[in-house]
Amino acid sequence: MLAESVIRTDFSFPGQKSVYHGKVRDVYNINDQYLVMVATDRISAFDVVLSRGIPYKGQVLNQIASQFLDATRDLVPNWKIATIDPMVTVGKKCEPFPVEMIIRGYLTGSSWRTYKSGARTLCGVPIPNGMREHERFPEPIITPTTKASEGHDEDISGAEIIRSGLVSAEDYEQMENITRKLFERGSQMASEKGLILVDTKYEFGKIGDQIYLIDEIHTPDSSRYFYADTYENHFAKGLPQRQLSKEFVREWLMENGFQGKEGQTQPEMTDQKVQEISQRYIELYEHITGKPFEYADPKNVLDRVRKNIEIFLKEQG
C-alpha cells in the first residue's frame, strides 16, 4: 500500500501575509520576516506538475537541500534558519532575483537537445563543434534562465540580463562568481560519494546590499549526477550514462509522448510507477548524502507539518 503523499497545503498561521504555491513547494510569508517553505510531494517535469504525488519526495528534497545549505554557508550566506520538520525549512525572507543561474559541466539533457538541433551557442556562450552527448566542457558554462511565475522559464544570456535591467551588472557578476564556487564545492562533495555533479541551478536574493543563496541546492530536482565509476567507459562506447537525477522521469514521459507541449496528454501514473519513482528518490538521497534514509511517519503528515510550524512560530514570539 502506498504511503500518503502531500499534494498541497492550505494552512493559516498567525502573521501570515501570503502563501505561494509553486511547482513543488508551498511558501508561507510570515510578517515579511520569515519564509516557511514546505517541500510537498508534487513532482514536475517540462514545467508541468504531474497528476500524482510521490511519497517521501518532499522529505528527500528538503533534507538534501538542508544539508548542502549548511555545507556551503562559508561560500555565501543563505536564507535557511532551521529545518523544523522532515518536509519544512524556515528561513529569512529575501527579495529574489528574477533569474535562475544554471551551470553545466557536461553537454547533456536540454543542452544536448539544443546542440543536436544545430545550435552552437547556449545563452550567449559559444560551444565547440564536434562535441558528443555527455562530453565534459573545457570549463563549466553558465546558462541562465528567466524565472517564470507560470509556464516555461526562458533561456537568456548574462548580457541580456544586465541590458534588460533584470539584475545590475555588479550583482550579476557576484552571482556568477558565487555560482562557480558553489558548483566547485558541490563537485568535490559529489566526487567523495563516487558521483559527478553534471549540472545544477542556483537561485539568489537580497537583504539590503547582501546577496543570499535561496531555495534548494544540489537536490535531484535541481541537479543532475552521473556515477563516476562508469562515466568514462559509457562515454567511450556511446552508452547512456547512469544518472542520479529527475531525468528518468522526463525520459519516461518522452517515451510516452509527453513533453509538456500543447495538446499532449500526461501518461497514466499507476501505483507501481509512483512507487518506483518514490524508491528512486530515496536511492538518490542515500547516494548523494551517504546516509541511510530515515522514513518520517507516514500517518497524519499534514497535521505533523502544521504543528511543527506552529511550534516554531510560537517560539519566535
pLDDT tens per residue across span 115-124 = 999 999 999 9
- In this prediction, residue 126 carries a pLDDT of 95
Q: Which three cell numbers stand for residue 86?
A: 522532515
Lowest mean pLDDT among 59-73, 137-151, 231-245: 137-151
Question: What is the 3 state secondary structure string of 174-193?
Answer: HHHHHHHHHHHHHHHHHHHC
Q: Which three cell numbers stand for residue 70?
A: 549548511
Q: What is the pLDDT of residues 25-59, one digit of tens each?
A: 999 999 999 999 999 999 999 889 999 999 999 99
* pLDDT, average across residues 52-73: 97
Topology at the third CATH level for domain 96-244: D-amino Acid Aminotransferase; Chain A, domain 1 (3.30.470)
Nearest-angstrom CA–CA distance, 70 and 304: 24
| pLDDT given for residue 246 in this prediction | 85
pLDDT digits (tens, 9 = 90+) for 177-218: 999 999 999 999 999 999 999 999 999 999 999 999 999 999
pLDDT, position 35 = 97
CA 138 distance to own-chain centroid = 24
Check whether 149 has a pLDDT greater than 80: no
Residue range 63-78: mean pLDDT, rounded? 97
> What is the pLDDT, as a whole number, of residue 220?
86
Amino acid making up residue 201: K
| pLDDT at residue 31, rounded to an integer | 96
So what's the pLDDT on residue 226? 95
pLDDT of residue 97: 97
At residue 247's C-alpha, the angle toward residues 5 and 2, to 5°, is 20
Whole-prediction pTM: 0.90
* pLDDT attached to residue 147: 84
Q: What is the mean pLDDT of residues 77-82?
A: 98
Give the phi and the psi of residue 17 in degrees, each rounded to 5.
-95, -35
The yes-or-no verdict on residue 63 having pLDDT over 90 is yes
Report, as an integer, the average pLDDT of 303-317. Answer: 94
Confidence of residue 264 (pLDDT cuts 50, 70, 90): very high
Q: What percent of the chain has pLDDT over 70?
A: 98
CA distance 49 to 43: 6
Is pLDDT at 248 greater than 90 in this prediction? Answer: no
Average pLDDT, the chain: 94
Residue type at 53 in one-letter notation? G
Q: Provide the pLDDT for residue 150.
A: 57
Residue with cell 537568456: 156
Split at pLDDT 50, 70, 90, the class of 243 is confident
